[in-house]
Amino acid sequence: MKKPANEMREHILDVARALMTQKGYTAVGLNEVLSTAGVPKGSFYYYFKSKEEFGQALLDEYFEEYLSRIRPILKQQASGAESLLKYFQYWSETQHDDSVDNKCLVVKLGAEVCDLSEVMRQVLEKGTARIISLITDSIERGVEDGSIVTSDSVALAESMYQLWLGASLMAKVNRSTQPFLSALTMTKSLLG
């Protein structure tokens, strides 16, 4: 039985995410995505106007899914510092395991697609801003409950997010969890 158009579109995006998480955006051609998804080559443009729109949809879906996973961690009934430490522990665990579903597309595709597509760069900018906003909220909660000391919650949130993006990149380069351990130590220090 043929899948409805919206289900097929989601199926294509899911298949593409798995492929691109492993190989990158430019290394995966549309033919590979469609053949892996079991979709006839000519029907791609029924679901997406262009590869750029496809990339935008892929990133939009990634951020929605990722934010739905981290929001409960960062908004839990715990101190702001505890919530942040649990989030960054989650980050460490998911970015080092072999599960393609949990890998960060910001780390994998960020530098690559920002030079290729202004639209995709904007999706990355907006999505990362939403993540930083959640981190900021946890920091502000921590300032209120006394578990975090800072005079600039936004700058601290940006710094911690950048620290962890860098740790993710270095973990890939070194094939080691050591960058995450260093980032966790620094995070604890930054939280005061």
Asked whether residue 83 is domain-assigned, the answer is yes
Each residue's pLDDT expressed in tens, for the chain with a length of 192 residues: 456 778 899 999 999 999 998 898 889 988 999 999 999 988 888 999 998 899 999 999 999 999 999 999 999 999 999 999 999 999 998 887 665 566 788 888 888 888 889 999 999 999 999 999 999 999 999 999 999 999 999 999 999 999 999 999 999 899 899 999 999 999 999 998
In a domain, 121, yes or no: yes
Say if residue 108 is exposed, middle or buried (CB neighbours under 10 Å; 0-12, 13-18, 19+). buried
| Three-point CA angle 94, 97, 99, nearest 5° | 85
Instruction: Output the six-digit token pair for 125.
Output: 């900018």
Helices (H), 75-152: 80-96, 105-114, 118-145
CATH number, position 163: 1.10.357.10
Classify residue 143: in a domain, yes or no: yes
Indicate whether 5 belongs to any domain. no
> What six digits make up the tokens of 7?
């289900």
Does residue 37 lie within any of the structural domains?
no
Q: How far, in Å, are 55, 69, 102, 158, 177 from residue 134 at the CA level?
A: 24, 12, 19, 11, 25
- Hey, what amino acid is at 57? A
Neighbouring C-beta atoms of residue 33, cutoff 10 Å: 22
- The range of the structural domain enclosing residue 83 comes to 50-191
Q: Residues 130-163, buried b or exposed e (16+ Cβ, 10 A)?
A: bbbebbbbbbbbbbeeebbebeebeebbbbbbeb
Q: Is the pTM of this model over 0.75?
A: yes
| Structural domain includes residue 44 | no
What pLDDT was estimated at residue 1?
Answer: 44
N-to-C CA span, the chain: 58
Q: Is residue 81 part of a domain?
A: yes
Q: How many domains does the chain have?
A: 1
